[in-house]
Amino acid sequence: MKKSVFSIILVLLLCLSLGVNAGAAERAVWQDPDNVMILWDNSEKADYKVFRSGSPDGTYEYIGSSAVGSYRDDTAKYPNVYYYKLQKSGADLSGPFSPVASPDDISSVYVIMYHNFISDEDIKNGVEFEEYSISPKDFENDLIWLKNNGYAAVTSDDLIRHLEGKKSLPKKAVIISIDDGTLGVYTNAWPLLKKYNMKADFNIIGARIDAAWDTLSSGGTRDGEPAPYCTWEELAEMQRSGEINICSHTYGLHAYAVDGRVGMRMMENESAEAFAGVVKKDYDLAVQCINGWTGKMPETVAYPYSERSADGDRIILENTGYKVLMAGAGARGTFGNYFVAGADISSQSMLISRSCRMDGTPIGAYLEEIAERDAGNGINTQPDLIHTKNTNEIAKDYQLFTDVGREAWFSGSVYYSYLNGLMRGVSGSEFAPDANISRAMTATLLCRLAGEPQAKSAARFTDSNGSEWWFKAAAWADEAGVLPSFEDGSFRPDDTISREELASAMYGCAKYLNLDTSKRADIEKFTDAQSISAGYREAVSWTAAYGIFNGNADGSFAPSGSVTRAQMSMILRNWLNR
């Protein structure tokens, strides 16, 4: 988010209570256009009252209290100007006042709702394909798009643990939220999640799972059913795998206008006590089934038909063990979901907006629309991914590739290069960290760093027909002098590039981009400095000066040594961070 936005929209004044040291009142943040999060150091767990005014010297009205060091003002409306004061229990309002703004504290999660995954074979067997259904192939294309665009699939459990301060959150986090409980998730979607090392929430209707289980247990079959459901054994198997997080879509409230109720929505003129009894009974049934079969307490519920109300939200959270409420598109006033780092989970809005994935529209269209619509609200702009600092921490919590260990020295740089769209996997689930970088890959990566420019003139290589995946990047690299072809006109794409050759190519790319190339380091510090070829010494000196190449643990540079994909991810991060 841009700081200039905050300079014109908000002056937030926080008042220290008597007897509290400086720094107790820390900051206030526009979480989204309808919420301001106020945060302070409250290690002593004292109760604080929060007051608000429209002018610094105006009358301050009490708006709420908190003993957790954070309070969310959900009556704020952007771009109004607000002033806040805090009062510690038993003390008077006091100064000093100090305006603060902290846009870097915002994290986001986009949520896409799915329903049925139905193959051609399923249709032949009588399964009904309707507008909320998609084919396994379309779902696979969605997962590929996520992989190619730097997204990490998380679950609502991951989000809860993050808000509890127990886990990090990826910078491009998406929850694949699947409703109902149909069999296609087990047969069609789950194998694809495993293939691409991703995960999803599965919000099940307990009564329908019970019915499917009863049918099969009594010798019946799901064959020919228009919408067959999973059994509890299948759900337990998926939950154990780690790819599927079983959540609730209510036990028996997924019904439309039965006895006047629509799903889990509070009815008109229904008392809070009566509604609390309804949702508590349904929650207890959901827990009995989900926890009994999977060993997991459901903490997320998806509203049937996305029908809800603000009073109902509050009553559900107060009377059940649910912590996350999944609703429809724009439910919380934004289409994405935004959270403030450091705020207690009790202060966060746990109502989640979900866009519904419909047949014929790929996931990328939804995610791009969410980003575009929310960026227009003046607050929830896209993060600066290049300057992401906590990639090592994030990589420990999220394993993007099965062959990149969370504690590996390169896990953070692999995540960083993936996040910024520079290096992707060699397959849906593998990164191949120990594989050597070739000339073709070098040209491709440097072309991405340069913004994917194209050669101005037609290029020809004696070992290319012009249709190879690397050709356009190689043509640019050759023309720009970044990675020239050989005298015989060949590019030799499969040749392994050496460390000194890579240094030269990156030096050439920096010159192409008109970056500062004036700094030099004393390469004689390397124990094998005399082995660096004369034509590469200047480039090696430049990369060492900027910390792009740092040498090996034994003090050598190893100029003729190869560069692995893991090492390349680190080099790319060094380049962008310098």
CA distance 374 to 561: 47
For 103, phi then psi, to 5°, come to -65, -20
What's the average model confidence in pLDDT over 431-447?
98
Instruction: Give yes or no for residue 287 having a pLDDT over 60.
Output: yes
Please check whether residue 201 is in contact with residue 173, taking contact to mean a CB–CB distance below 8 angstroms: no
Percent of the chain with pLDDT over 70: 94
* pLDDT given for residue 290 in this prediction: 98
How far is it, in rounded angstroms, from Cα 200 to Cα 151? 13
In the prediction, which pLDDT does 26 show?
A: 66
Largest CA distance in the chain: 86
Contact 265, 308 (CB under 8 A): yes
pLDDT for the residue numbered 478? 97
Residue 521 scores a pLDDT above 80: yes
For residue range 118-138, list pLDDT tens digits in order: 999 999 999 999 999 999 999
Alpha-carbon distance values, 460 to 38, 108, 452, 489 (Å): 61, 46, 19, 8
Contact (Cβ atoms closer than 8 angstroms) between residue 445 and residue 573: no
- Of 81-90, 154-163, 378-387, 464-473, the poorest mean pLDDT is in 378-387
Q: How confident is the model at residue 18 (pLDDT cuts 50, 70, 90)?
A: very low
What is the predicted pLDDT for the residue at 426?
A: 94
Taking 90 as the threshold, does the pLDDT of residue 15 lie above it? no
What residues does 87 pair with on adjacent strands?
49
Ranking 379-383, 470-474, 537-541 by mean pLDDT, the lowest is 379-383
DSSP letter for 50, please. Answer: E
The burial class, CB within 10 Å (0-12 / 13-18 / 19+), for 526 is: buried
| pLDDT for position 102 | 54
Q: What is the mean pLDDT of residues 255-284?
A: 96
Residue 378 confidence (pLDDT):
84
Structural domains of the chain in order of their starting residue, each with its CATH number: 3-101 (2.60.40.10), 106-375 (3.20.20.370), 426-577 (no CATH)
Is 18:92 a contact under the CB 8 Å cutoff? yes
Residue whose entry in the numeric block shows the structure tokens 């192939």: 137
Q: If DSSP states are collapsed to H, E and C, what string results for 156-188?
A: HHHHHHHHCCCCCCCCCEEEEEEEECECHHHHH
* pLDDT tens per residue across span 531-578: 999 999 999 999 999 999 988 999 999 999 999 999 999 999 999 987
Closest listed residue to residue 115, CA positions, set 139, 146, 137: 139
pLDDT above 50: residue 78: yes
Mean pLDDT over 366-377 rounds to 94
What number is the average pLDDT over the span 51-77?
Answer: 93
Mean pLDDT of the chain: 91
